[in-house]
C-alpha cells in the first residue's frame, strides 16, 4: 500500500455517560497534536444513560474525511462493549482493555490487558480517571511520545480545576509507564512537519459561518443532530453580540426568525427533517412574502422519528419541495466543515440578495463528525456581506412604498422603522404595496416576478466541482456529506486498483441548470450515483441532464450509518463491473 | 407624516376600503387602534402590526403602519422576532380567537410564560367567520354553528384565566361596544413592558351577533386589579363579563433578559464577525 495513504483507526465503545465521548475527543486531539490528520465518527442511541456509544478516530499523514469500517485497535469501556462492537472488529483488531471495565474477549484477537486500577489507587488518583490512563497506555502502545498528550490534556481540560488537570496528567503518565508493545514498532510515525489544523464538527462550522457571515438572530427548537449549533452559538452569544433563543416550537422558531429577518437582523434557524415538516408553511410564506431566511436541515434517519441519532440523506426532496404552492428557494448541501463554513455565509448573502428561503442541508454525518480542518481556510474565507436591496433611508414621500415593485425582479425592501417605507408584508397574494388582491392579472405578474428569481439564480450558481483526472470514462456523483467517503474511495481505486474515476460533487442542488449540466456530463460514458438513502433522490435530475438509464448505476446505503471507505470501494467496484 | 410632526388619525388611514360586513366589530377595533396610536404619538413607521388569517387578517392593509400578515394562528412568532431585532419598534400582534386559542395556542402560552415584550390584541368574535361560521374555542356553550348544528357541546376556553395561569403580566378584556375604554386598554397594553394581552369581545353580525348580550352582561372594573386571586374570581364569572385590566405586573422584559439589548436594538449594534478568537477552542 502507498505509505502516504496508510491510516489507522481506533474505536472506543461503552455505555452512554461513561465518558466515551471525552476519551475519544482526547485521543483525537492528541493525534492532532502529534500532527496527524484525523476523522472522528461518533455513534450513540437516543438515550441519556446506558445505551452503547462509540467514537472512532481514523488518522493518517494525509487529509482524510471518512472512517474505515473496521478498526485496528478497540478500547471497550463497558462489559458489553466488545459484543456491541463485533461487526466493526476483525480477527486482527487489537483489543486494548482494562479488566476493571471489560472482561477479556473470548475470541482469539490480539489482546493488550492492562491493569490500571491498582496503579491509580497507589497514587491516589480517582478511579474515574482510568479513562485518561487508558489514553496514556494507548500512546505507549502506538509508540508515540507522552509530552504531546500532556499538552493536550492541559488544553482539553483548560477550564477544569487545577487538581483535576494534575490528576489527569498523572493518570496519563501512569498509563504510559506500563511496558507495552504493539506489533513491534510505530506503525505510523508522526509527521515531521505539522499542518496548522483544527478539529471541528460540521455544526460548529455552520455556527462559525453564521458569525462570520454577519448573523444576528439564531433560534431553534432542540432536535438532533442540529442541536449543537444552538449550544455552540449560545456559548458565544454574548461575546459576539448576537441573540440566540430557544424557541417554544419549531413553528415559533421559523416564524420569529422570519420576523427578525424582516426587521433587518440576519437570521438562521436549524432543525432536522421532522422540524422542517412543521416549518413548511412558513417556508411557503417566506416564498410569497419574499422574506430572507436561512434554514439548516441536519438530516437524520427517517421517516417519522426514524433513528433519531443516526445518518441519512433522506431530505433532498423535502428541501426542494417543502411548502405548498410554487415559489423560489435555494438548496445547498456542503460536503465538509470547510464548505459548511463558507456556504453558510453564502447562504446568508443569497437569502438576502434574492429575498427568499435558503435551505442548507447537513446531516448527522457532517453535523456531528469531527474533522481535521485547516485554520488558514477559516481565516481566509470570510466573504463580504451582501445585503441586497435593503433600504434604510427613503427621501421621497410615499403614502405607501412599492415594496413589491414589479419593474424589478428583486425589489427594494425597506426595514420597518424607515420613514416613507410603509407597506404590508403579505402571505396573501398582493399588489406592489403588499395589499391583498384577488385573482387578477396582477397575480400572474407577481408569481412570474418571484419565479424569475430561479432563472437569475441558475445563471449565478456555480456548477458542481469535479475531482479527479477529468478525463475518466466513468464519473462518480454525490452531494453533501458523502464527499469525504467518495474522495477516499476514489483515491484508493486510483492508487491501488489503477481505476481512474472522476467525482462530480453537487453542493448547489436547487435550482439546477439542466442545460449547462448536460454539457458537463456529456464528457462521460458511465455514472455511479452515490447517496446515503434508499431511493437515490438525485436520479431523476440526472435523467433530465441527458443521462440514459443504462449509463447509470446507483449505490445506496440506508442502515443509519455513513458510507465507510472500504465498504464504498467494494460497492463502487461492483458497480463498475456491471458496466462491462 | 414624518417622525417629527405629531401624527393624526389621517396618517394611520389607508386607501383600502374594508371588506368586512356592515356592523362588524373589526371596524371599531381598527379605528380604535389607530386612535390609540395617535394618542401615544407614535409615528406610523415606528409601529409594526402582525396579523392572523381570517377576518382579522383582512385588516392587514386597512391601517397605515408597517404590517406583516402571517399564517393562521401564527401572528405571534414573527412579532417576537421583530421585537428581538429592533425593540425600538412598537410591536403589536393581532389575531382572531381561532388563531390565538386553538391553532396557535402553543405560541400564546409560551409568550405569556416567557413574558415576551409584545402586545397582543385578540379580535374575539367567538366564531370562525371568514370560513362561514364554525365553532371557535370561545363560542358560547349551546350556540348553534355550522359544525355544531345542535348547539356547541363544549364550554368555551377562558382567555383571561388561561393567560393568568400561563404567567401573562398584563391581562385585560375590552368590548367594541365601549370604544373609549377599549382605546385606553390598548394604550395601557402597548405601554406595558412585557407581554400584554387584550381579549377584545366583538360581534360578528353575520354569524354570531352577541351585541345585545354583551350590552346587558358587561360591566366596567373600577380600577385595575392587582390581586391575581381576585382576577381569577372575576374572570370565572360567565354571567357578567368584567371589562378592564384584570392583572398587571412589571417583570423582567426583553432588555433585562438580554443585557446586550440595553445598549441599542440588535440591528443597530455593530457586527463582530471576527472568528480568530473562537478558533482557539478547536486547536
The answer, yes or no, to whether residue A580 has pLDDT greater than 90, is: no
Furthest-apart CA pair in chain A: how many Å? 87
Question: In the CATH hierarchy, which fold is given to the domain comprising A465-579?
Answer: Rossmann fold (3.40.50)
Question: Taking CB atoms and an 8 Å limit, are B66 and A422 in contact across chains?
Answer: yes
Q: Which residues of B touch A421 (CB under 8 A)?
A: 45, 66
Would you say the CATH fold of A199-380 matches that of A3-195? no
Question: Which residues on adjacent β-strands are paired with residue A475?
Answer: A502, A527
- For residue A105, give the DSSP letter: P
Q: How is chain B split among helix, strand and coil, in percent rounded to 5?
A: 35, 20, 45
Task: Please report the sign of the dihedral spanned by the C-alpha atoms of residue B231, residue B233, residue B238, residue B241.
Answer: negative
Mean pLDDT, all residues of chain A: 95
B79 closest CA partner among B55, B54, B114, B36: B114
Give the Cα separation of A26 and A94 in Å (integer): 20
Q: Which whole-number Å values give the CA distances from A398 to A430, B4, B11, in the listed order?
A: 18, 16, 12
Count how many pairs of residues, chain A against chain B, have C-beta atoms within 8 Å: 213
Q: Under 8 Å CB-to-CB from A192, ≥6 apart: which residues?
A: none
Helix (H) or strand (E) holding A130: helix A130-141
Q: What pLDDT, on a 0 to 100 scale, did the predictor assign at position A66?
A: 93
User: Per-domain residue ranges for chain A?
Assistant: 3-195, 199-380, 389-461, 465-579
- Contact state of B68 with A259 under an 8 Å Cβ cutoff: yes
Q: What is the pLDDT of residues A257-299, one digit of tens each?
A: 999 999 999 999 999 999 999 999 999 999 999 999 999 999 9
Specify the pLDDT at position A2.
Answer: 56
Q: What is the mean pLDDT of residues B45-66?
A: 96
Which pLDDT score is estimated for B1?
44
Measured between alpha carbons, how far is A310 from A559 in angstroms, rounded to an integer? Answer: 9
- pLDDT at residue A47, as a whole number: 77
Q: Cβ distance A84 to A12 under 8 Å?
A: no
Half-sphere exposure of A259 (CA within 13 A, CB side): 35
- E strand or H helix that includes residue A474: strand A474-479
Q: Which residues of A touch B273 (CB under 8 A)?
A: 211-214, 382, 385
* pLDDT tens string B150-164: 999 999 999 999 999
Residue in B closest to A425 by C-alpha: B68
Give the largest Cα separation in chain B, rounded.
73
Could you name the CATH architecture of A199-380?
Answer: 3-Layer(aba) Sandwich (3.40)
**pLDDT > 70: percent of chain B:** 99
How far apart are the C-alpha atoms of B283 and B280, rounded to whole Å? 5
Report the C-alpha gap between B177 and B180 in whole angstroms: 9
Identify the residue whose cell numbers are 462493549: A81
* SS3 state of residue A52: strand
Tens of pLDDT, residue by residue over A220-268, are 999 999 999 999 999 999 999 999 999 999 999 999 999 999 999 999 9
- CATH (residue range A3-195): 3.40.920.10
Contact of B160 with B241, CB cutoff 8 Å: no
Q: Centre a 10 Å sphere on the Cβ of residue B94 and count the other Cβ atoms it contains.
A: 29
Mutation choice for B interface testing from A157, A201, A202, A248 by most B CBs within 10 A: A248
pLDDT in tens, A25-49: 999 999 999 999 999 999 998 777 7
Cross-chain residue pair A255–B77, CB shorter than 8 Å: yes
Q: What is the DSSP letter of A190?
A: P
**Which of B76, B84, B100, B263 is the mutation pick for testing A, counting most A CBs within 10 A?**
B84
Q: How far is B13 from chain A (nearest CA, A)?
A: 10
Rounded CA gap, B15 and B274, in Å?
47
CA distance B106 to B100: 9
Average pLDDT in chain B: 95
Q: What pLDDT is recorded for position A17?
A: 85
Which pLDDT value is given to residue B3?
46
Query: CB under 8 Å to A230, separation ≥6 — which residues?
Result: A218, A220, A222, A244, A246, A270
From A14-18, A210-214, A378-382, B213-217, the region with the lowest mean pLDDT? A14-18
Q: Mapping DSSP to helix (H, G, I), strand (E, B) and coil, where does residue A293 land?
A: strand
- pLDDT-derived band at A186 (thresholds 50, 70, 90) equals low
B9-282: CATH number:
3.40.50.970
What residues does A96 pair with on adjacent strands?
A: A112
Beta strand pairing call for A293-299 and A267-271: parallel
Chain B interface mutation, best of A157, A198, A422, highest count of B Cβ atoms under 10 Å = A422
Q: Round to whole Å and give the CA distance between A574 and A566.
A: 13
What is the pLDDT averaged over residues A141-167?
96
B230/B247 Cα distance (integer angstroms): 9
Cβ-count burial of A500 within 10 angstroms (0-12 exposed, 13-18 middle, 19+ buried)? middle
Amino acid at each position: 500500500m502507498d505509505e502516504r495513504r496508510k491510516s489507522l483507526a481506533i474505536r472506543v465503545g461503552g455505555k452512554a455517560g461513561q465518558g466515551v465521548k471525552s476519551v475519544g475527543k482526547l485521543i483525537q486531539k492528541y493525534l492532532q497534536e502529534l500532527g496527524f490528520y484525523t476523522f472522528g465518527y461518533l455513534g450513540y442511541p437516543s438515550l441519556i444513560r446506558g445505551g452503547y456509544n462509540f467514537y472512532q478516530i481514523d488518522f493518517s499523514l494525509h487529509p482524510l474525511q471518512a472512517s474505515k469500517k473496521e478498526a485496528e485497535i478497540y478500547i471497550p469501556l463497558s462489559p458489553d462493549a466488545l459484543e456491541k462492537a463485533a461487526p466493526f472488529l476483525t480477527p486482527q483488531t487489537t483489543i486494548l482493555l482494562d479488566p476493571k471495565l471489560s472482561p477479556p474477549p473470548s475470541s482469539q484477537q490480539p489482546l493488550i490487558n492492562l491493569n490500571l486500577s491498582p496503579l491509580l489507587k497507589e497514587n491516589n488518583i480517582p478511579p474515574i480517571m482510568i479513562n485518561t490512563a487508558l489514553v496514556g497506555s494507548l500512546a505507549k502502545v502506538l509508540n508515540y511520545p507522552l509530552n504531546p498528550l500532556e499538552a493536550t490534556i492541559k488544553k482539553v481540560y483548560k477550564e477544569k480545576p487545577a487538581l483535576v488537570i494534575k490528576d489527569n496528567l498523572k493518570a496519563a503518565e501512569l498509563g504510559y509507564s506500563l511496558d507495552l508493545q504493539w506489533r513491534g514498532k510505530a506503525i505510523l510515525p508522526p509527521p515531521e512537519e505539522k499542518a496548522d489544523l483544527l478539529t471541528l464538527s460540521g455544526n460548529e462550522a455552520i455556527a462559525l459561518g453564521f458569525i462570520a457571515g454577519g448573523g444576528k438572530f439564531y433560534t431553534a427548537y432542540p432536535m438532533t443532530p442540529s442541536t449543537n449549533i444552538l449550544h455552540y452559538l449560545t456559548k458565544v452569544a454574548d461575546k459576539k453580540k448576537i441573540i440566540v433563543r430557544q424557541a417554544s416550537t419549531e413553528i415559533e422558531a421559523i416564524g420569529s426568525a422570519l420576523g427578525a429577518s424582516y426587521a433587518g437582523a440576519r437570521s438562521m434557524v436549524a432543525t432536522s427533517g421532522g422540524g422542517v415538516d412543521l416549518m413548511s408553511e412558513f417556508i411557503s410564506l417566506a416564498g410569497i412574502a419574499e422574506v430572507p431566511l436561512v434554514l439548516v436541515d441536519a438530516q437524520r434517519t427517517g421517516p417519522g422519528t426514524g433513528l433519531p441519532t443516526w445518518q441519512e440523506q433522506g431530505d433532498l426532496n423535502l428541501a426542494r419541495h417543502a411548502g405548498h404552492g410554487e415559489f423560489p428557494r435555494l438548496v445547498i448541501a456542503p460536503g465538509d466543515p470547510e464548505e459548511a463554513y463558507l456556504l453558510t455565509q453564502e447562504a446568508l448573502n443569497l437569502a438576502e440578495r434574492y429575498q427568499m428561503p435558503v435551505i442548507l442541508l447537513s446531516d448527522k454525518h457532517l453535523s456531528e463528525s469531527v474533522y481535521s480542518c485547516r485554520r488558514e481556510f477559516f481565516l481566509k474565507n470570510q466573504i463580504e456581506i451582501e445585503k441586497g436591496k435593503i433600504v434604510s433611508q427613503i427621501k421621497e414621500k410615499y403614502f405607501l412604498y412599492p415594496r413589491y415593485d414589479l419593474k424589478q425582479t428583486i425589489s427594494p425592501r425597506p426595514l420597518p422603522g424607515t420613514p416613507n417605507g410603509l407597506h404590508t408584508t403579505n402571505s396573501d397574494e398582493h399588489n406592489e404595496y403588499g395589499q391583498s388582491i384577488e385573482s387578477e392579472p396582477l397575480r400572474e405578474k407577481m408569481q412570474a416576478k418571484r419565479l424569475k428569481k430561479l432563472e437569475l439564480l441558475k445563471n449565478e450558481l456555480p456548477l458542481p466541482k469535479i475531482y479527479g483526472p477529468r478525463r475518466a470514462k466513468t464519473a462518480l456523483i454525490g452531494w453533501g456529506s458523502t464527499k469525504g467517503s467518495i474522495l477516499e474511495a476514489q483515491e484508493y481505486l486510483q492508487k491501488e486498483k489503477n481505476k481512474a474515476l472522476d467525482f462530480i460533487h453537487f453542493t448547489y442542488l436547487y435550482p439546477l441548470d439542466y442545460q449547462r449540466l448536460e454539457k458537463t456530463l456529456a464528457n462521460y460514458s458511465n455514472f455511479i450515483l452515490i447517496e446515503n438513502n434508499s431511493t437515490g433522490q438525485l436520479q431523476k435530475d440526472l435523467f433530465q441532464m441527458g443521462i440514459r438509464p443504462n449509463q447509470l448505476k446507483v449505490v445506496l446505503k440506508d442502515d443509519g450509518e455513513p458510507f465507510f471507505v472500504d465498504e464504498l470501494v467494494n460497492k463502487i467496484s461492483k458497480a463498475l463491473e456491471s458496466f462491462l | 407624516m414624518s417622525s417629527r410632526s405629531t401624527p393624526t388619525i389621517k396618517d394611520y388611514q389607508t386607501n383600502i376600503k374594508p371588506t368586512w360586513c356592515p356592523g362588524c366589530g373589526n371596524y371599531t377595533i381598527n379605528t380604535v387602534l389607530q386612535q390609540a396610536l395617535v394618542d401615544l404619538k407614535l409615528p406610523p413607521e415606528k409601529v409594526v402590526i402582525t396579523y392572523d388569517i381570517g377576518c382579522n387578517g383582512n385588516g392587514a392593509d386597512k391601517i397605515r403602519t408597517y404590517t406583516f400578515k402571517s399564517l393562521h394562528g401564527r401572528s405571534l412568532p414573527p412579532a417576537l422576532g421583530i421585537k428581538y431585532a429592533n425593540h425600538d419598534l412598537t410591536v403589536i400582534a393581532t389575531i382572531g380567537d381561532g388563531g390565538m386559542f386553538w391553532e396557535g395556542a402553543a405560541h400564546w402560552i409560551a409568550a405569556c410564560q416567557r413574558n415576551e415584550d409584545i402586545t397582543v390584541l385578540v379580535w374575539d368574535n367567538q366564531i370562525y367567520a371568514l370560513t362561514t361560521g364554525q365553532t371557535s374555542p370561545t363560542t358560547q356553550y349551546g350556540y348553534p354553528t355550522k359544525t355544531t348544528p345542535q348547539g356547541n357541546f363544549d364550554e368555551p376556553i377562558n382567555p383571561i384565566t388561561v393567560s393568568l395561569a400561563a404567567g401573562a403580566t398584563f391581562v385585560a378584556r375590552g368590548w367594541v361596544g365601549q370604544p373609549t375604554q377599549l382605546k385606553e386598554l390598548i394604550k395601557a397594553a402597548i405601554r406595558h413592558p412585557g407581554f400584554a394581552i387584550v381579549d377584545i369581545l366583538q360581534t360578528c353580525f353575520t354569524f354570531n351577533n352577541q351585541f345585545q348580550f354583551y350590552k346587558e352582561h358587561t360591566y366596567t372594573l373600577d380600577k385595575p386589579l392587582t390581586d391575581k386571586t381576585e382576577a381569577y374570581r372575576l374572570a370565572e364569572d360567565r354571567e357578567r363579563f368584567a371589562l378592564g385590566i384584570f392583572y398587571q405586573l412589571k417583570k423582567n422584559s426583553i432588555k433585562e433578559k438580554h443585557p446586550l439589548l440595553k445598549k441599542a436594538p440588535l440591528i443597530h449594534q455593530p457586527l463582530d464577525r471576527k472568528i480568530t478568537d473562537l478558533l482557539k477552542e478547536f486547536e
